[in-house]
Structure formats: C-alpha cells, structure tokens
Amino acid sequence: MLTTYVAVTLITLFLMCVYNIGILSENLYSEQTTKLYAKANIISQSISGAWDSNDEKVMYLRLEDVTDRLLAGTNIRGVVTDNSYSVLFDNNSEAGMTGKVFMRDVLKRALDGEQSDSKFETDNGSTLTVAVPVEVDGEIIGGVYLAENMSAIADTVSTIRASLIVFSALLLFIIILISIGTSYIITRPIAEFTEVARAISRGDFSRRANVKGTREMAQMGQALNFMCDELNALDEKRKNFVSDVSHELKTPMAGIKLLCDSLVQAENPDMETIREFLGDMSEEIDRLTRIINRLLTLSRLDSGADMNMSRVDISALCAGVVESLSKLAKEKDIELTYEIPETADNYINADYDKIYECVYNIVVNAINYTPDGGNVNTRVKCSDSLCVIEVEDNGPGIPDAEKLKVFDRFYRLDDSRARDTGGTGLGLAITKEAVLLHQGTIEVTDSPSGGSIFTITLPITESGKE
C-alpha cells in the first residue's frame, strides 16, 4: 500500500513539474519574443523616417542614434541592413560588420516582407533573434535584426525547477510519513485481528481483539469479539452437553452392571430372583433406549434437514394428541379437556409429525407433573397470521427462575424425582427446537390456578392458508 502511494505521488509530482516548467518557459520565451518584436518594429519605424541612402555618414549617425536609444541598458544586439544584406549599422562595433554582408534566415524572411523570429543554442545559452523589414513608401529598403541572449530566462526556469524539485521532495517526504502512519494505524489492528482469528481457529476462545482505533476498526474488533463470545458459549454448551449425555448414559449402564454383577455373584439364584433382576435390567435398557431415541431426534432437529412440510389442520392435530393421552389422564384421574377454536381456518404449513410431538410433549408433561385429580386444558386460537396452542394445568407450576431453563437439554426441576419417573429432560428441548424450525416461539407462564401455561405460537404462512 505504501509503495503504491509513493509511486502514485512520485509520478504525479514528476508530471506536474515537467508540465509546469514547460508552460512557464514557453510563456517567458513568448513574452520575450513579443517584447523583441516591439523593439524591432519601433526601430524599424523610427529609422524609416530617417533613411537617407545618399549620405552614408549621416545615415549611420541617425541609425546609431535611434538604435542606441532604444536598446540602451539591454544586452540586445541590433543590426540594420539595407535590402542587399549589407550592414548599415551594428551596435556591436567590435564585430566590425559595418559595410559587410550579414546573412541570416530571419533577416532573409524580413527582407521578403515577413517579420520572423528564431531561437538557437550557443555556448552561452540560447539566443532569440527577430527580424522585421524597414519600409519607405511601401517599398522594403532594409531590415532590422535583433538578437538577445536568453540566459536570464534559462536561469529563472532552472531556479524555479530547483524550487519545484525541493518542494516535491518535501511533499513526498511528508506523504511517506503520513502513509507510514496511516498504514501502521490500519495494518496493526488487522494483524491483531488475524492473530485473534488464528487463536480462535486453534480453539482458544479466550482471546479478544483490541476495540480501539478508527470507528471501522473498532466495529470490526467488536464483531470479532462478539463472534468469540458466541463461539465460547457454543463450545461451553457442547462440552456440557457431552458431559450431560455421558452422565445420563452412565446411570442406567451402572444399574445394568450392578444387576449383572449381583446375579453373577449370587450362589444358586432361584428362577424368580433371576426373572426379577432381568426385569430390572430390561427397565434400565428401556431407559437407555428412550434417552438414545430422544438424542437421535434432537440431532435430526439440529441438522434441520428432513422437514416434511404439508398443510396441517392444527385443531385436528391437537384433538388427536388429547385423544391419545386420555387413557393416561384417566389413570391419574386428571380431567383432560380440549377447547375447539371458533375460527374456521386453523391450517398451517408445518411438518405434521414434529408439531404432533411438540404438542404431545407439553400435554404429557402437564399430565405427568400435575397431581392426581387435577385439570389439563388444551386450546387452539388462530388469527389471520398466527396459530396459538395453549396447554394449561393446575399442577405445581414452574418458578420464574426456572422458566427458561426447562427448555435446556437434560434440565429437570426435581432432578431425582423426574429421573425416577422416567423423564429424560429432553422433551421440552426437542419441542423448542421443532418450534424454532417452524419460525415459531414457545414460552411458559403462570396459570391463575397456580399451575403453568405452555404457549406455542406458530406463524400461518400463505401456503398454509391455501
């Protein structure tokens, strides 16, 4: 980045210098040319009135007077010739050109009637020459030739060039300093973010990026840290889940092992004891199977892949659940009621089996955790966009602090009692996952009777309405 900056600046400064110097020297030369033409024309006009070809001496003095007056204080060489290139006057008397032929291209063009100029290089620098004709009564009778050394202009141009180079070098230096500073400000946090990202990929979620610096960098740092927090929480959950699974599987396995050992160590056990031990083992195996089946269901929901969506009549589904659990409710002497919704349209677009399992889990919980002789009421309320399923019981209720936790995996309120009653602690976790897969919500609130109300809210999509 720094190299690009410097390269672009260098090229820009170089082009700027070349262009400006070119324009400047062109302007200075053209201004000087105009001035020289003006002088030559004034001389030409002044001497045309004093032209006297009869008396060379008088003529010389007149020409000398006019030319010296106009060129006084300059380093301009002035030569006046007649129309056959013979020098009538030369202010550089040392050259001894008076009376001799003075041939120059510009003078030739002037004697042809066209004023002209030219520039050429000498050992002393460049020289600018102009020549204009001298006319008397419309006839070209001679020419004025002026030559000026342009070293002053060359000096000015080279002074300005030197100043521009110094200025450009200074500017370049400042730009390099700023570029180094800027790239340090930008690259340092990026290097730090890269290091943090590498640490995350190595599984070190404790690292955090520095969120100081420019607004964009701070935002990037915050996003990275947020991702770190989320990954950390996810990793924590994963570890807990693995340890919970091991713990849950260990208990029935330990039970089976104990039963096996007892049976092996028993001397001549009778058939009834063997049958009793095997019956206990079978119960533990059932429990293991139940946990494994629940875990498989959860893992399928986690992958979210096999959704079998169809148009589902939600009131018929709930009625089916209540119907299938009526025997269980009767055994516990629980009054299981169901309120059929008044609205006609109770269809949603859903995976029938998954929603059935959700409703089943919360109704079976309500029956299981409500003491004998209680009430469990299931109702469905559908509006244009939402379908709400409520299961209310008058059981012990769930304390506020536990209301969110009951949806966690393996979470049981009264752990040992729930375990004894065969609960895996996965029913509500499965229900929540399935509801979320349908873009719905699930919550638990207190019932006025002291029990709980579990509420599942599912959106009614356009395809569900058809």
Ligand X SMILES: Nc1ncnc2c1ncn2[C@@H]1O[C@H](COP(=O)(O)OP(=O)(O)OP(=O)(O)O)[C@@H](O)[C@H]1O
Report the interface residues with Mg ion, using CB under 5 A: 365, 427
Tokens representing residue 83 in the block:
């129309």
CB environment 159-173: b (16+ within 10 A), e (fewer): ebbeebeeebeeeee
Q: What, of ligand X, Mg ion, none, does residue 426 touch, CB below 5 to 8 Å by kind?
A: ligand X
Decide: helix, strand or coil at residue 120. strand
Size of the site for ligand X (CB under 6 A): 23
Minimum CB distance to Mg ion smaller for 315 or for 365: 365
Closest contact distance (angstroms) between CB of 438 and ligand X is 18
Closest CA to 90 of 114, 109, 71: 71
**Nearest residue (CB) to ligand X, 129 versus 365:** 365
The closest residue (CB) to Mg ion is 427
β-bridge mates for residue 149, sequence order: 127
Place of tokens 């139940």: 290
Q: Are 137 and 48 spatial neighbours (Cβ–Cβ below 8 Å)?
A: no
Q: What are the residues whose beta carbons fall under 8 Å from the beta carbon of 389, sequence distance 6 or more?
A: 314, 318, 359, 378, 379, 380, 455, 456, 457, 458
Smallest distance, Å, CB 435 to ligand X? 13
Smallest gap from residue 297 Cβ to Mg ion (A): 13
Minimum distance from residue 299 beta carbon to ligand X (Å): 15
**DSSP one-letter code for 155:** H
Close Cβ partners of 322 (under 8 Å, ≥ 6 residues apart): 336, 338, 363, 378
Binding mask 285-314 for ligand X (x = CB under 6 A): ---------x--------------------
- To the nearest 10°, the Cα dihedral for 79, 82, 86, 90? -20
Return the structure tokens found at 287: 């429990």
Q: Which is nearer to ligand X, 5 or 411 (CB)?
A: 411
- Whichever of 148 and 284 has its CB closer to ligand X, that residue is 284
Q: Are the C-beta atoms of 385 and 439 separated by less than 8 Å?
A: no
Of Mg ion, ligand X, none, which one does residue 294 interact with (CB within 5 to 8 Å by kind)? Answer: ligand X
Binding mask 401-440 for ligand X (x = CB under 6 A): -----x----xxxx---x----xxxxxxx-----------
Q: How far apart are CA 104 and CA 83, in angstroms?
A: 13
Tell me whether residue 221 or residue 427 sits nearer to Mg ion (CB atom). 427
Q: Distance (Å, rounded) from C-alpha 22 to C-alpha 427?
A: 86
Q: How far is the CB of 327 from ligand X (least distance, A)?
A: 17
Q: Considering only CA atoms, which of 293, 284, 204 is closest in space to residue 251?
A: 284
- Read off the tokens for 308: 């079998």
Among positions 43, 295, 398, 435, the unique one binding ligand X when judged by CB under 6 A: 398
Does residue 47 belong to the site contacting ligand X (CB under 6 A)?
no
Do 176 and 137 contact (CB within 8 A), yes or no? Answer: no
Nearer to ligand X, 149 or 368 (CB): 368
398 binds, options ligand X, Mg ion, none, Cβ within 5 to 8 A by partner type: ligand X
Between 253 and 413, whose beta carbon lies closer to ligand X?
A: 413
**Minimum separation from the CB atom of position 385 to ligand X (A):** 27
Quote the least distance from Cβ 417 to Mg ion, whole Å: 13
DSSP 179-203: HHHHHHHHHHHHHHHHHHHHHHHTT
What residues numbered 358-397 form the site for ligand X, per CB under 6 A? Answer: 361, 365-366, 369, 393, 395-396
What minimum distance in Å lies between the beta carbon of 359 and ligand X? 13
Minimum CB distance to ligand X smaller for 87 or for 429: 429
Minimum Å distance from CB 407 to ligand X? 7
Q: Which two tokens stand for residue 2?
A: 């720094």
175 binds, among Mg ion, ligand X, none (CB under 5 to 8 A by kind): none
For the CB of residue 364, give the shortest distance to ligand X in the complex, in Å.
Answer: 7
Site for ligand X in 223-242 (CB under 6 A): none
Please give the Cα distance from 263 to 112 (Å, whole number). 139
Q: How far is 217 from 210, CA to CA, in rounded Å? A: 9
- Specify the residue, 44 or 365, whose C-beta has the smaller distance to Mg ion: 365
CB-CB contact of 64 with 46 (8 Å) = no
Site residues (CB under 6 A) for ligand X? 294, 361, 365-366, 369, 393, 395-396, 398, 406, 411-414, 418, 423-429, 452
